[in-house]
Chain A
């Protein structure tokens, strides 16, 4: 038994002790504060969206694995749960549940399985589902409700960003206060309103090194710089960078969606370009685009560059010499 064996095996030779399920469940755990916050602010509507998205994502994944004759173990690695959770969190509270189910099916089927399952997809699956819903049902996807904690008596309600873009909130002085955005007491997609809850989870992801700090840092930096220039030039017309960071889906996008390992670059240089690109795109869309919010499209747009960035900036191969200059 103690005979020496010469083991020949192919790479990878070094393996991290992290596994796919471990990473995924860390992310799920980090999302929990925001999930709790969304249920607090939007009550049963949030619960309904979570249940329908999770069940539909799970079922779609199972059907695809069965049709493709793939092992069912990937059903339990937690990636489907993240897709379902993130999709539900980026839906407006008024959305009817059958539309949430359609979005979930598209997210898993077209966003992930068509490409070959986990690890092969180009785009963040949850965002694919959301982009589909946004384009398929634009009215339903932009009908908002005030949170249950806010006593506002209106039939229709605008998000802080919608208010900024379409009601000239800065000029009118009706901009949603930063404090309200920080705690989450404002309108929007169910999981994106509470900045504090999202930041709590983000802290866990950063300390555990589950996500690369450069991605959120780059996005926040670029957006701050972009919106900051306009704010300094015309504070009576433009909202402050702090408002732009806390409002809408920026935090959930920067910490939980752009950081998806499959759809973000590997090399630090590529990561910086990717992250700064997202931040600038968000600024461009929010300030000059036709939509009030641009996080989803910015991330999807920069996702398309990931294969190119990975080809341009390759990590140094183990044993390879550094470039002598």
Chain B
């Protein structure tokens, strides 16, 4: 057998055997990986919308995913908005909840971020950042409070605390939320998202 023929044969064989193994491993792990990703999303939704039991996707874009959340008995309990935007270092993917009437942000959680450890990465921290996102006004633009207030009661409903020494990351998160809120309002206007009527109709 000539050398080149042997080279082709060996490389093909190595490739085929590896490919076979990889295909087997991929089939074995695919389901579990998908479950893990889904569990992470469901976990995030539970953190921002209380009593959410059923998730229905109402709007899907590359950087904006909106779920309609139903409770145990099928009643509307709120909306969960998953948004991706540019952070200080890399993309930030976050999830925030809206109440059923779409007037209030019920909470925020970070799904994925690569901000500076110890500084910007505190956007994942409950004490430093996330606790200040409960019951914020969703009607207009939210603003940063700098220097930060000590407790959430001292903030206006339209204000968010800044993380000390991580102003940029705080600003980026706020920017993503503000932009998403704008798009949600646009979707409501277009009739693609329906808030619960306040008088119960």
Contact = CB atoms under 8 A, between A and B. Distances in A.
Decide if A and B touch, CB cutoff 8 A: yes
Interface of A: 138-139, 142, 155-156, 166, 290
Output the residue of A139, A142, A155, A290 with the most chain B CB within 10 A: A139
Nearest to B119: A138
B119 A290 contact: no
A138 B165 contact: yes
Given A156-B147, A166-B146, A142 B167 contact: no
Contacts of B101: none
Contacts of B103: none
B156 interface: no
A138 B119 CA distance: 8
Contacts of A290: 88, 168
Interface in B127-158: 146-147
Interface of B: 88, 119, 146-147, 164-165, 167-168
11 contacts: A138-B119, A138-B165, A139-B164, A139-B165, A142-B165, A155-B147, A156-B147, A166-B146, A166-B167, A290-B88, A290-B168
Contacts of A155: 147
Contacts of A142: 165
B167 to A, nearest CB: 7
Contacts of B168: 290
A120 to B, nearest CB: 32
A238 B110 CA distance: 36
A166 B168 CA distance: 10
A138 B166 CA distance: 9
Nearest to A165: B167
Output the residue of A138, A142, A166 with the most chain B CB within 10 A: A138
A290 B89 CA distance: 12
Given A138-B119, A156-B147, A290-B168, 8 more contacts: A138-B165, A139-B164, A139-B165, A142-B165, A155-B147, A166-B146, A166-B167, A290-B88
A213 B172 CA distance: 43
Contacts of B146: 166
Nearest to A154: B147
Nearest to B146: A166
A290 B120 CA distance: 12
Contacts of A166: 146, 167
A138 B147 CA distance: 15
A156 B147 CA distance: 8
A138 B116 CA distance: 12
Contacts of A139: 164-165
A166 B167 CA distance: 9
A110 B167 CA distance: 30
